[in-house]
Amino acid sequence: MSRKLLAKTLVGAVAATLFALSTPAQSTYAPAPENLKARQDFQDDKFGMFIHWGVYSVLGNGEWVLHNRKLQLHDYERLPNFFDPEKFDAQAWVALAKAAGMKYITITSRHHDGFAMFDSKISDWNIVARTPYKKDPLKMLADEAHRQGIKLFFYYSQLDWHNPDYYPRGRTALDDGPWHNGRPDHGDWNAYLDTYMNGQLTELLTNYGPIGGIWFDGMWDKPDADWHLDKTYALIHKLQPAALIIPNHHQAPKPGEDVQTFERDLPGRNTAGFNTTFVTDQLPLESCNTLNGSWGFDIGDDKYKSVEEIEELLVRAAGNNSNLLLNIGPQPNGEIQDEFASRLRAVGEWLGKYGVSIYGTRGGPIAPSDWGVTTQKGDTVYLHVLNWHAPLLALPPFPRKILAARELIHGTKLQVAQSNDGVVLPLLPAEKGQTDRVLVLTLAK
């Protein structure tokens, strides 16, 4: 080997080593201090607004309409022409989330149709290039979220029904026989991940200020594929170390992930049929659910959850040491329908009184059960009585001595009987419309 070549080879080897050191494999992922702080803040926040909004909203038939109606892409590609949300008001959306007592917003930057709801230079399949609206609503929302002091997360679908490089296609494209929607039968999977997806993620983590994190969905479409997760996760953590990676892959957490999330289920339950029942005790938890039955706007869905049902969902999430991410699907004109807004405002009013027993807490010392749940902050335990119809509440043994007990709303002092066998407390009947009776216990040091 010539001297020159040797020198070149050495330089190359050193550069490769340095590169490897500067982008550590996520299998040895050690979260940055700001990431650990963000996890704590995330757990304190407890309640977020999930927003599904895209060109599919025009059809008022949910975000899966392309798949469910087995549309051809050249037909679906007409949709952006009709997407002109002249009533979109970022200030109003953020203000509604705040009025609901929500501390963060997670919005679809793109769903499974691959359509970017932001100004992307990676492809023209995006809102600025293809719609008469021509503007970037995520930018407006990010600016407004920063102004009003609420965190913004981006949902990003790894599954893509539009890009030909999402190939081989996954289980959703094979459902009920072939649904080819007009894409060629070949594509460059590595380019899809490394250039297209990571390119868009770079845009999202560069052009919108500090972002709460990325909420991934769709990996379950190709569970056995190599998703280059190490590369993608390292990229995100490099661009914004505090940004949390929240993957909705329905599996146990993998290295590099910061939150475990559960779809339409509390942690550990699998009533939806696709969640894992494994719950980590290492990461913050989140449970997402819909305010009616749909994610994206569905004009025929009037199965609205009542205010009381939403409150109970939130309380049970908190008692399971989890956040609740509650979804609404805004209309294609940019308005949030009143059936959503009025319920959210009512929950916010309720949180004005009960929030102290939810925000900033962690799951309490008694396992969640049918009667209710417990939350805890320091030496204070909150008993959330959701379903108990007797004048005395009987609980299992408590790990620490209870010094005092009172009812949260009226402050009434309560007599506690504590022994090795358990704890008994008096309980007033629930008032009309009262979802949650909260008793506050002060524990000995």
Q: Could you list the residues that contact ligand H79 (CB under 6 A)?
A: 63-64, 171-172, 217, 220, 263, 274, 288, 295
Question: Which residues make Cβ contacts (< 8 Å) with residue 330, sequence separation at least 6?
Answer: 51, 53, 57, 88, 93, 297, 336, 337
> Residue 419's beta-bridge partner residues?
422
**Cβ distance to ligand H79 smaller for residue 8 or 70:** 70
**Cβ distance to ligand H79 smaller for residue 110 or 343:** 110
Which whole-number Å values give the CA distances from 196 to 25, 105, 164, 165, in the listed order? 21, 25, 11, 9
**Cβ distance to ligand H79 smaller for residue 287 or 320:** 287
CA–CA dist 92, 49 (Å, integer): 13
**Cβ distance to ligand H79 smaller for residue 82 or 274:** 274
Measured from the CB of residue 248, what is the shortest distance to ligand H79 in angstroms?
6
E-only strand ranges, 206-352: 213-217, 244-248, 260-263, 285-290, 322-328
Question: Which residues make Cβ contacts (< 8 Å) with residue 25, sequence separation at least 6?
Answer: 230, 234
**Cβ distance to ligand H79 smaller for residue 113 or 407:** 113
Measured from the CB of residue 295, what is the shortest distance to ligand H79 in angstroms?
4
Q: Is 88 helix (H, G, I), strand (E, B) or coil?
A: coil
Element housing 338 (H / E): helix 338-354
Measured from the CB of residue 288, what is the shortest distance to ligand H79 in angstroms?
6
**Cβ distance to ligand H79 smaller for residue 64 or 189:** 64
Q: Is 288 helix (H, G, I), strand (E, B) or coil?
A: strand
**Quick one: 14 exposed, middle or buried, by C-beta within 10 A (0-12, 13-18, 19+)?**
exposed
Measured from the CB of residue 357, what is the shortest distance to ligand H79 in angstroms?
28
Measured from the CB of residue 158, what is the shortest distance to ligand H79 in angstroms?
11
Contact 267, 235 (CB under 8 A): no
Measured from the CB of residue 278, what is the shortest distance to ligand H79 in angstroms?
17
Residue in 216, 193, 190, 196 with CA at minimum distance from that of residue 111? 216
**Cβ distance to ligand H79 smaller for residue 63 or 144:** 63
Measured from the CB of residue 103, what is the shortest distance to ligand H79 in angstroms?
19
